[in-house]
Amino acid sequence: MNSSIKASTLSSENVSVWFGQRQVLSDVNLVFPANKVTALIGPSGCGKSTFIRTLNRMHELIPGAGLAGSVYLDGEDIYGQDFDAVSVRIKIGMVFQKPNPFPTMTIRDNILSGLRLSGRKAENADEVVENSLKRASIWNEVKDRLNDQAISLSGGQQQRLCIARSLAMNPQVLLLDEPCSALDPGSTRRIEETIKELSSSMTIVIVTHNMQQAQRVSDQTAFFLADDNTPGGVVEFGATEQVFSGPIDQRTNDYVNGHFG
């Protein structure tokens, strides 16, 4: 496996989302530069997790889901005819809020599962396993336990295993939907360190409710908000330091300073 795949630029253009007749997002325009970490912040229910799922076509798996607009990976629309959903999700990996290793599989088999499920041959499987676990900062903890079931790991270790499982596919982009929300401070710190290290080789988008985490790990931040009876959208988007220290919109200032949300 080639671990030197270059990071890619991801962007959304006028992305709007519906669940049935209910519109939940309106006209989201964002650019995620290569080798940068972008944080998506905002109160619950404003569409952050919904939006991040549009970035690798997970949204379309939900019955009744609808989408307008485009998502571009290095200038190519991932919803276009030249892309199928499986190839998109290989290029754009995702880690969810709750750790979801395959419980009946070993640690080693979890790492290789994505390759096998996508029909790709895992050449040098041992090397793939070791490199993926190292990049996810968990190799030293599990190198003597590779044949143990993944469920035997702690919650924080399971989440880093899920990151390693995504990394085995050599994604160009990694999406993280509140990856630390259920974890203790020590596990959170290790995952944040992993995110910063990974950004040297890929583009990262993270949904987080933790304002301190957004400031620690991200280069740029998008603030989402849904007003009463209106779909969610981006209120402010810019360099993380600017969004937190000198926001342009008063609503951003109120949110990042804990006045609501």
pLDDT digits (tens, 9 = 90+) for 83-114: 899 899 999 999 999 999 999 999 999 999 98
Residue 31's SS3 state is: strand
Residue entry with tokens 């989201």 = 28
pLDDT for residue 2: 44
Question: How is residue 212 written in tokens?
Answer: 């301190």
Averaged pLDDT for residues 219-243: 96
Residue 238 pLDDT > 50: yes
Architecture of domain 10-106+172-256: 3-Layer(aba) Sandwich (3.40)
Residue 133 pLDDT > 90: yes
- What residues does 204 pair with on adjacent strands? 37, 174
Residue 163's SS3 state is: helix
Averaged pLDDT for residues 114-137: 87
Residue 123 pLDDT > 80: no
Averaged pLDDT for residues 20-49: 96
CB 230 within 8 A of CB 212: no
Residue 1 pLDDT > 50: no
pLDDT in tens, 41-67: 999 999 999 999 999 999 999 999 999
How far is 7 from 74, CA to CA, in rounded Å?
A: 10
Model confidence pTM above 0.75? yes
How far is 81 from 203, CA to CA, in rounded Å?
A: 24
Residues contacting 174, CB < 8 A, separation 6+: 92, 93, 94, 95, 163, 166, 167, 198, 202, 203, 204, 205
How far is 42 from 254, CA to CA, in rounded Å?
A: 11
Helix residue ranges, H only, the chain: 48-54, 85-91, 107-117, 125-135, 139-142, 155-167, 185-198, 211-217, 240-245, 250-256
pLDDT for residue 81: 87
Residue 172 pLDDT > 90: yes
Residue entry with tokens 């499982």 = 165
Residues contacting 228, CB < 8 A, separation 6+: none
Residue entry with tokens 């469920």 = 151
Question: What residues does each domain of the chain span?
Answer: 10-106+172-256
pLDDT above 70 coverage of the chain, percent: 98
